[in-house]
Structure 1
Amino acid sequence: MSRIIIVFTVLLCSVTASAQNQNEEKSIKEVLKTFFIGLHKGDSTLLKSTLHKNLKIQTTFTTSEGEKQLRTQTKSNLLKQVASKKTADMYLEKIHSYTIHVDGNLASVWTPYSFFLNGNFSHCGANSFQLFNDNGIWKIIYLVDMRRRANCEDAKQKK
């Protein structure tokens, strides 16, 4: 009888932990969806609501000469760029998938994407987000994206 109670307790704990992790993943995905809605609309206030005050942003790409680059951007510069988006410009960052890992108050999310400007394919790549659970509210603390124009054939089709 005691073995049955132990097995039942272990199963119950596993189910509870899995449900909690699924809830965290859902919350994290909602933060990222809000981030992209703000980006697409040019709504810097909405975008800012997803960002931690100490956010770090970087972009990596390869130049046409084959030189690998890493550029750092400030949070305020990102928000200014989003706020100055022309209303006629249509941004669409099509996210192909979300791979989410959570451990306590830290989350890591990988999102391959294709980016379209005014309906035309611009580039593809991947985003890597790091999020912090700031006392119940997930905030983006680090964002690095990789951009490329080559080898994007599959991404162009996913519009």
Structure 2
Amino acid sequence: MKRIIIALILLVNIPLSAQIDKDESTPEETVEKFFAAFHAQDTVKLKNFAVEGTKLQSVSNDVEGNIKLSTDDYSNFLKSIASIPAEASFEEIIKEFRVEENGLLATVITPYSFYYNGKLSHCGVNSFQLVKFNDEWKVVYLIDTRIKECE
């Protein structure tokens, strides 16, 4: 009788633990949802993907070919997304996701091409640094490259 009760307890707990794991988001899913909100210009959702104080950086070449590193606050990023005119179209096409996860820390690398009003504007690579807070992945740092001459 003891064995039957133990077996029933184990069987009942298996679906519960599977459901708990299923509800947790992955770093890749978080970045995918980030881009869905980005394309929808949903700054409320975008704000929820990052922690207070998140920094964004971009690496590019200036007109003279010098390397330029620009830094901005996430709040300014949100303002820039909100200010894109309704008649403008933009799309960042993600080519792949490379994910390195280690406990509470994850890096998601996404090569991309960015189109503005149907024309290729630039391409490069995004590098998202995420931290897991209470089973939810949040962006703490984002850096990208911006290349004008894309293949």
- TM-score, normalised to structure 2, is 0.81
The one-character-per-residue Cα deviations of 1:128-159 (angstroms, maximum 9, x if unpaired) are 00000012110000000100111x12xxxxxx
Corresponding residue pairs, total:
132
Could you say what secondary structure the match of 2:51 adopts?
strand
CA distance in structure 2 between the partners assigned to 1:52 and 1:34 by the alignment: 16
Q: CA deviation at 1:31?
A: 1.1
Could you say what secondary structure the match of 1:89 adopts?
coil
Q: Which residue of 1 aligns with 2:130?
A: 131
Q: CA deviation at 1:39?
A: 1.5
Residue 47 of structure 2 is aligned to residue 48 of structure 1: yes
CA distance in structure 2 between the partners assigned to 1:64 and 1:71 by the alignment: 15
CA distance in structure 1 between the partners assigned to 2:84 and 2:41 by the alignment: 5
Q: CA deviation at 1:47?
A: 1.0
CA distance in structure 1 between the partners assigned to 2:145 and 2:22 by the alignment: 28
Structure 1: runs of 5+ lacking an equivalent: 1-21, 154-159
Structure 2: runs of 5+ lacking an equivalent: 1-20
> Where does structure 1 differ by over 3 angstroms across 4 or more consecutive aligned residues?
22-26
CA distance in structure 2 between the partners assigned to 1:44 and 1:25 by the alignment: 23
Q: CA deviation at 1:119?
A: 1.1
The one-character-per-residue Cα deviations of 1:31-59 (angstroms, maximum 9, x if unpaired) are 11121122212111111111111311101
Bigger radius of gyration? 2
- TM-score, normalised to structure 1, is 0.77
Residue 137 of structure 2 is aligned to residue 142 of structure 1: no
Asked if 2 retains the 8 angstrom alpha-carbon contact of 1:42 and 1:84, the reply is: no
CA distance in structure 2 between the partners assigned to 1:126 and 1:25 by the alignment: 26
Q: CA deviation at 1:102?
A: 0.5
The one-character-per-residue Cα deviations of 1:43-86 (angstroms, maximum 9, x if unpaired) are 11111111111311101101121110100001111110111121
1:78-157 equivalences under 5 Å are 78-150=77-149, 152-153=150-151
Q: Which residue of 1 aligns with 2:62?
A: 63
